[in-house]
Amino acid sequence: MGSWARPFTVAVPDADIELLRKKLELATFPDELQGAGWDYGAPLADIKRLTTYWKDSFDWRKSEKAINELPQFTTDIEVDGFGSLNIHFVHQKSKVENAIPLLFVHGWPGHFLEVRKLLPILTSESPDHPSFHVVAPSLPGFGFSEAPNKPGFGGFQYAEVVNKLMLSLGYDEYVYQGGDLGHVVGVYATNAYGNKHIKAWHTNMPFYRAPTLFSNPLLFLEMLTTPFNTRMQEQFAAAKRFRTKGMGYFVLQATKPQTLGYSLADSPVGLLAWIYEKLHKAVDKYPWTENEVLEWISVYWFSRAGPAAPQHMYYGLTHGNEHDLFEGTRWTSTPLGVGFFPGEPVRLPKSWVHMIGKVLFESEHDAGGHFAAFEQPARLAGDLQKMFGKGGPVYGIVPGKDGYV
């Protein structure tokens, strides 16, 4: 570890914890329609129960102590046109000297703790699978990273941050894993740094823009067969359900994040409801405990830039929803692996993944959802071990670092 990286310890002031408790005590709850269930959003009974637990039973100091067992650091990253940003990251090194450098990038409404369950699996040493040096940053505005302070911070800027972080650690060549916004950043990063620095990557949320007659005529023609293709009908039905029932957050965060931000920054109950609805809906029957939910939400509440900052990422990626998430990107030859998890709500025809990159590895899982690293860490880690291990399609892709003892 270079001298530029400073060890980091989470240490929330007592006054901030007390202020949170007072806000929870003063919470005012809305009415709820009879029998509404989850149709209108997070149920009142669930939010009241979690609010009470957060106020009376949840022990942030216990969570903080556990978080601080992770090897955390901060460093300054210079971003072209935006100055320097202080970036927080976890850097868990394997004892295997030639372990594969892996950049893990979280999404929303996640954060750096998504990587926690993966760390002991990926850094373990064995003659049967490769080992990894794992770097998991908090994206700008998330967790304990500084947020950009002017408009225009988009996909290529997020990619610049994470790539410069890896280079500064001495990892000139590395591999990448991400889902949700981590996937989106991965698309930009491989467009900018693929093959040269990012030797291969894996996504557990493989989506991209729809094919057109000119961009991908074969996939476009396949789309026209939907009325006669049961499989395509099922895949489009799933996509339609998410577009019509699950995209409200996206439109609001991509167009008016500042307006939304007043509620999230001032009301811990508002923040809880906004994120908890996604934690519940996007998993594959994962049995969240109260402590898991509230630790997750508390990282947002106590974050460096505040709980409103992460929502700005959607505006920056889409320029206020004027274009899709992938503006300025195209197919790349960087080797790509994809993992399909049944509970992932963002589901498009599987053939479309070939528009993202050079697909060399695919896996179909029978359990797991949007937060695959948290819900099914062994399955996601298994994908990486198979993809980069002996006999895998990209074994030895990082020169001199195959991950074996």
Residue 252: the pLDDT is: 92
Instruction: Give the CA distances from residue 93 to residues 68, 173, 359, 384, in Å, rounded to whole numbers and listed in that order.
Output: 16, 16, 28, 16
Residue 2: the pLDDT is: 45
The torsion region of residue 81 among left (phi > 0), alpha (psi -120 to 50) and beta comes to: left
347 has pLDDT over 90: no
| Of the candidates 328, 324, 331, the residue with the CA atom closest to the CA atom of residue 356 | 331
Residue 282: the pLDDT is: 93
C-beta of residue 284 within 8 angstroms of C-beta of residue 238: no
Query: H helices within 337-404, ranges in order?
Result: 372-375, 377-388
Place of tokens 């500084």: 146
Mean pLDDT of 23-46: 97
Task: Quote the percentage of the chain above a pLDDT of 70.
Answer: 94
Q: How confident is the model at residue 191 (pLDDT cuts 50, 70, 90)?
A: very high
C-beta of residue 172 within 8 angstroms of C-beta of residue 197: yes
Residue 222: the pLDDT is: 66
Whole-number Å distance between alpha carbons of 109 and 111: 7
Residue 221: the pLDDT is: 64
Mean pLDDT of 78-106: 98
Place of tokens 């650091």: 73
pLDDT digits (tens, 9 = 90+) for 326-337: 999 999 999 999
Q: How confident is the model at residue 179 (pLDDT cuts 50, 70, 90)?
A: very high
231 has pLDDT over 90: no
C-beta of residue 114 within 8 angstroms of C-beta of residue 282: no
| Of the candidates 300, 301, 316, the residue with the CA atom closest to the CA atom of residue 185 | 316
240 has pLDDT over 50: yes
223 has pLDDT over 70: no
Tokens of 6: 């400073």
pLDDT digits (tens, 9 = 90+) for 252-299: 999 999 999 999 999 999 999 999 999 999 999 999 999 999 999 999
Residue 1: the pLDDT is: 45
Tell me which DSSP letter residue 113 carries: G
127 has pLDDT over 50: yes
C-beta of residue 388 within 8 angstroms of C-beta of residue 164: no
Q: How confident is the model at residue 225 (pLDDT cuts 50, 70, 90)?
A: low
Mean pLDDT of 321-349: 93
Tell me which DSSP letter residue 8 carries: -
Instruction: Give the CA distances from residue 84 to residues 137, 211, 251, in Å, rounded to whole numbers and listed in that order.
Output: 16, 38, 29
Phi, psi torsion values for 10, nearest 5 degrees: -70, 125
pLDDT digits (tens, 9 = 90+) for 203-213: 999 999 876 75
Residue 233: the pLDDT is: 67
Burial of 30 (0-12, 13-18, 19+ CB in 10 A): exposed
pLDDT digits (tens, 9 = 90+) for 69-88: 999 999 999 999 999 999 99
More confident: 181 or 348: 181
Task: Quote the percentage of the chain above a pLDDT of 90.
Answer: 86
Mean pLDDT of 214-234: 68
Per the prediction, the chain carries an average pLDDT of 94
Residue 247: the pLDDT is: 80
Cis peptide before 257 (omega within 30 of 0): no
Residue 138: the pLDDT is: 98
- The tally of CA atoms less than 13 A away on the side-chain side of residue 283 is 18
- The tally of CA atoms less than 13 A away on the side-chain side of residue 312 is 22
Handedness of CA 281, 282, 285, 288 (dihedral sign): negative
Mean pLDDT of 347-351: 81
C-beta of residue 12 within 8 angstroms of C-beta of residue 60: yes
Mean pLDDT of 352-371: 95
218 has pLDDT over 80: no
